[in-house]
Amino acid sequence: MSIQTNKAVLFDRAQQLADSGSVDAALDLLYEHFDELLLAGNFSEVSALLGEFEPATHSTPVLLTILTVTFPARSKLSRSRIDVFTKIERTLRARGEAADELLAGLE
């Protein structure tokens, strides 16, 4: 997937794959796209992606992948990653999921 991928399309496609039972393909799509951006040093684009991400419409594996793939660059993403972490935490809690356990080590 190109670095210039429409932000909404990326997240929607990943969730469509997850919903159809292709969770591994969904996670691979996200990992590949974010890795490409991060390796290119395009932290502003990653921050923009995180800023537009709405956790409530995505499955738990997708949410955890977003945090996992951005974890190594958290110091470069600062506020955008903190904000998305907070949104994901709230979403998981609202769903009644074990947020503390799921998010351990991903802050």
What DSSP designation does 8 have? Answer: H
In a domain, 80, yes or no: yes
> How far is CA 16 from each of CA 30, 48, 56, rounded to the nearest angstrom?
12, 21, 14
More confident site: 3 or 46: 46
* pLDDT interval class at 60 (50, 70, 90): very high
Q: How many domains does the chain have?
A: 1
In a domain, 47, yes or no: yes
High-pLDDT (> 70) share of the chain, %: 93
**Total-model pTM:** 0.89
pLDDT at site 13: 94
In a domain, 2, yes or no: no
Please tell me the distance from the alpha carbon of residue 19 to that of residue 30, in angstroms, as a whole number: 15
Average pLDDT over residues 4-20: 83
In sequence order, which residues have a C-beta less than 8 Å from that of residue 13 and are 6 or more positions away? 26, 29
Average pLDDT over residues 42-57: 93
Average pLDDT over residues 11-27: 95
pLDDT above 80 (res 94):
yes
In a domain, 46, yes or no: yes
In sequence order, which residues have a C-beta less than 8 Å from that of residue 29 and are 6 or more positions away? 1, 10, 13, 14, 17
In a domain, 1, yes or no: no
* pLDDT interval class at 107 (50, 70, 90): very high
In a domain, 90, yes or no: yes
pLDDT above 80 (res 6):
no
In sequence order, which residues have a C-beta less than 8 Å from that of residue 8 and are 6 or more positions away? 52
Contact 92, 102 (CB under 8 A): yes
Domain that holds residue 46: 7-103
